[in-house]
Each structure stands twice: as structure tokens, then as C-alpha cells.
Amino acid sequence: MTQNTQVLLAKRPHGEPTDDCFKYVTVETPALEENQVLIKVVWLSLDPYMRGRMNDMKSYVASLEVGDVMTGESTGIVVESKSDKYKVGDRVAAHMGWQTTIVANADDPRLMPVDLDNGTLSAHIGVVGMPGRTAYFGLTDVGKPVAGETLVVAAASGAVGSVVGQIAKLKGLRAVGIAGGPDKCRYVKEELGFDDCIDYKAGNLAEELARACPDGIDIYFENVGGDVTRAVAPLLNPGARVPICGYVSNYNDEDMASAITPFHILKELDNVPEHRFFVVTEWHAQWIEATKQLGAWIKEGKIKYRESIGEGIENAPELFRGMLKGRNFGKQLVRVADETVG
């Protein structure tokens, strides 16, 4: 029998998730039933939304219960199949949590095939996967970009923000990023092709942002919240749009219910911009279409990306904490196994 290592939510965090918030268990994988597949997980994605799922609070999706497998998406390889839909060797993406092996029903909506023509197996949980699709739909459908406008995106070197700015450039916008540290800002400008990037750690964010956006801001793609949102808010033009993907600066607050969120900050403005929180599942029927478009842009050299790779599922909690603090450079991944069928 194949063994499966799972990472469970051991207790709810108060502030930053400590090691005792996670529990490792190893279980035997059950024998496959008809229409099931066995997946060897190769890559695990770490994303900010996971922190919110650890809290016991009302949200757009149910919270994890203590004892549940930590939520998350992974990509891997089918190593055994009792389904006509998938054969041994097929690459798949699965939204089934932090674990090394997955038994899944072939028609489970949390499972989808991976076409390597659109990008690598790791890219399917990054630039052409959920983060890339989040950038694509959040900008095009919620941000409603118009050529000549100015876009500002927070966490501009990250998995979502980096793609947002590059798509904005493809659509004829001025793209200004906000990132932490000179290396990340240099990458955003010189490699990704943003018009400017402001280092929020330098201590003069509001002044530098006003300099970089002389005509104001038409679209603010929100990933961070807090002081970044406060610096952006006065520069928003009439008719501005604010797609709210998340606000990671609040995610480790001990009392999220009393947090000052982007919604509070934006609603205090005299001219409240069009803004809303969105999740990529709103466009589930168009996921494959978006992945193909993102893959095509990568092949054409129009979108570039970077991955931060950690080794071993046992290191996922520490990598997760680092990602929430912005230690990653690009998409944060955990390599769980080698990319072989055996």
C-alpha cells in the first residue's frame, strides 16, 4: 500500500501560525474503486488565502475545522487509474490540500487535467494556474482596463501581482507596481516591464506613488491592504475601479473581525470608487480558456514569471509563514516529489 503524509490544522492560530498549529499524519491510501485515480503530488502551492481558512469566521467559503487537511492546490501525476478519463502518466491539478498522495474520483470538480503545452507542471499552480487566472479575470472583468489608464498593483513581484501588471501593459496601460525592497522593484521594472515600481519599505510610499502616478490612478488591484491602501486611496481618480483580491497585511491579525480592511478605507473617501472582492471560481467555466491565453503569452515572451521553491512538505509551515511576510520572490511552491511516474 502507498503511504500518504498529510498536514492537518491542529489548532486555530492567534496571529502568525506557529508550528503547533499544524499536525503531520501518515496514513495508508485506500485501494482504488471504480472511476478513481491515485495521484503522486509533485508540487504544492502556498497562497495567502489559506491563512483566512484557518480562522473560525464567516467568509466566502467555509473555514477549515480543526483536524482537517490544510487547504491548498497541488499538481501531480496519475500513477494508478481505474477511470477512462485519466491514464497512468497524466498530469493533473487538484485542490485537495497539503498531502503527498491523493485518491480522487475522476469526475471530482476539484480535479482538472494539465496540458503541458500551456506550461510546466509547476506553472499550472502559478502563472497559468489559479494565481494567473486570478490576475487575468480580476483585471479584465473587474478592473475593466482601458488603454491609456494608470494601474497600480500591490505585491507586484508576487504570483498574482506580477501577472496583473504584465497584462495591463499588453492592454496599453501605464503599470505601476508596489513591492518590498530594491531587488523586487528592480525585477518588476527591468524584467517584467512595469513603468515604475515603488519600494514600500523605503518609508516614503505616498510621496513616491504620487510621483509615479501624475495623472492619478484608474485601477488599483488590491492584494495587500493597510498602509498601502491608505497611500493609494487619495490618488484614485473619479470612476476608478478597485478589484479586491485580498489584503495580506491583515491576515495574521489576532482579531480579523475588527481589522481595518480596504473596504473601510475606500468607503471613507468622498468619491467612493467602484470596488468589490472577487474569487476566481466566479469564472470556473472559463478557466481552460484563460490558461491557454496565459500559456500563449508566455510562449511569445510577453509574460515572464519567477518561482520560489522550497523542498519537502515538512517545510511547508515555515515557507507559508515566510510567504505571508513577503519573503518569497514570485510564486511560492513546495516540491513534494520528483516528476516521474514511478
Q: pLDDT at residue 312 above 70?
A: yes
Per-residue pLDDT of 135-151, as tens digits, reads 999 999 999 999 999 99
Average pLDDT (103-113) is 96
pLDDT at 97: 97
Please state the φ and ψ torsions of residue 80, each to the nearest 5 degrees: -155, 140
How far apart are the C-alpha atoms of 128 and 118, rounded to whole Å? 7
What pLDDT does residue 255 have? 63
Looking at the chain, the whole-number percentage of residues with pLDDT higher than 70 is: 96
Beta partners for residue 143, in sequence order: none
The mean per-residue pLDDT over the stretch 196-221 comes to 96
Which cell numbers in the block locate residue 12? 486555530
The residue written with cell numbers 491523493 in the block is 102
For residue 92, is pLDDT > 80? yes
Domains belonging to the chain, first-starting first, are 3-126+306-335 (3.90.180.10), 130-281 (3.40.50.720)
Band the pLDDT of 291: cuts 50, 70, 90: very high
> d(Cα 202, Cα 176) in Å, to the nearest integer?
16
Q: What is the mean pLDDT of residues 194-214?
A: 96
Q: What are 280's three cell numbers?
A: 476566481
Nearest to 148 by CA among 175, 122, 110: 175
Using the predicted structure, report yes or no on whether residue 252 has a pLDDT greater than 70. no
Whether the pLDDT of residue 118 is over 70: the answer is: yes
What is the rounded CA–CA span in Å between residue 233 and residue 109? 38
176 close to 152: Cβ distance less than 8 angstroms: yes
